[in-house]
Amino acid sequence: MARYTGAVCRQCRREKLKLFLKGDRCYSDKCSFERRSYAPGQHGQARLRKVSDYALQLREKQKVKRIYGMLEDQFRRYFDEAERRRGVTGEILLQMLESRLDNVVYRLGFAASRNQARHLVRHNHFLLNGRKVNIPSLQVKVGDVITLREKSREVEAIKESLAAVARRGVPTWLELNQDAFSGTVKSAPDRQELTMPIQEQLIVELYSK
């Protein structure tokens, strides 16, 4: 699967919002967004013109894509699936994105960022219901148990991430057992616990044109 390999701090600056794409660095004074909160490029500090409705919708879609680390084709497939399901399309889309295995690993605190979580999953550091799994996009279900493999429990990056769990917190739809290095999906993702300012209706409007 293709993925973005450029400078991620540029993405935060383009969206004018800290997306927390680099883990602990985003909480430090080294964060590029804190030092240069204007858009990247030679015209980044130019006077802003009036923004059209289409531009607002496009930026919202780009922001959510970047938060979850996806390119256009994959993101569009998520939207098409959300549209086929019964319910509010925008909320279903966000629930599907939150239910990705890499996102759940990040939300439980085993990784400092979604990108790091994707890397850990791909390298077989986790078990899902006792079985090896290395597919970051796999959709977890209520009752699923994600466990860190025993040989991975001394990985320094994972230990550092778990030490910072208290600062980030774990959403109520997940349950972390830090002593057992495992987490359980207690319920479907709750839209109210998505703390990032996302207006999913703008994405629905964009793709519905």
* pLDDT score recorded for residue 84: 95
Average pLDDT, rounded, for the chain: 84
Where helices occur in 46-199 by DSSP H, the ranges are 53-68, 72-84, 89-98, 101-108, 114-122, 156-163, 165-168
pLDDT band at 194 (very low <50, low <70, confident <90, very high): confident
Please tell me which residue, 95 or 193, carries the higher pLDDT value.
Answer: 95
Percent of the residues in the chain that have a pLDDT greater than 70, as a whole number: 77
What is the Cα–Cα distance from 135 to 61, expressed in whole angstroms?
24
* pLDDT score recorded for residue 23: 59
Per the confidence metrics, is the pTM higher than 0.85? no
* pLDDT score recorded for residue 172: 93
Please tell me which residue, 109 or 42, carries the higher pLDDT value.
Answer: 109
What is the Cα–Cα distance from 71 to 74, expressed in whole angstroms?
6
- Reported residue count of the chain is 209
Q: How much is the average pLDDT of 96-122?
A: 94
* pLDDT score recorded for residue 140: 97
What is the Cα–Cα distance from 193 to 191, expressed in whole angstroms?
5
* pLDDT score recorded for residue 6: 58
Per DSSP, 130 falls in state: T
User: CATH 1.10.1050.10 in the chain, residues?
Assistant: 8-41+50-97
The interaxial angle of helices 200-207 and 72-84, nearest 10 deg, is 90
Answer whether CATH 3.10.290.10 is correct for domain 99-191. Answer: yes
Per DSSP, 128 falls in state: E
Report pLDDT digits (tens) over 8-53. 655 656 655 656 655 555 555 555 555 555 555 544 555 566 778 8
Report pLDDT digits (tens) over 124-168. 999 999 999 999 999 999 999 999 999 999 999 999 999 888 788
Residue 54 has pLDDT above 60, yes or no: yes
Would you state the structure tokens that stand for residue 123, as one six-digit string? 């390298």
Please tell me which residue, 37 or 201, carries the higher pLDDT value.
Answer: 201
Residue 191 has pLDDT above 90, yes or no: no
Q: How much is the average pLDDT of 74-88?
A: 95
CATH of domain 8-41+50-97: 1.10.1050.10
* pLDDT score recorded for residue 190: 87
Burial classification of residue 199, based on how many CB atoms lie within 10 Å of its CB (0-12 exposed, 13-18 middle, 19 or more buried): middle
* pLDDT score recorded for residue 167: 80
What is the Cα–Cα distance from 83 to 81, expressed in whole angstroms?
5
Q: State how beta strands 131-132 and 126-128 pair.
A: antiparallel
User: CATH 3.10.290.10 in the chain, residues?
Assistant: 99-191
Q: State how beta strands 131-132 and 145-148 pair.
A: unpaired
Please tell me which residue, 68 or 10, carries the higher pLDDT value.
Answer: 68
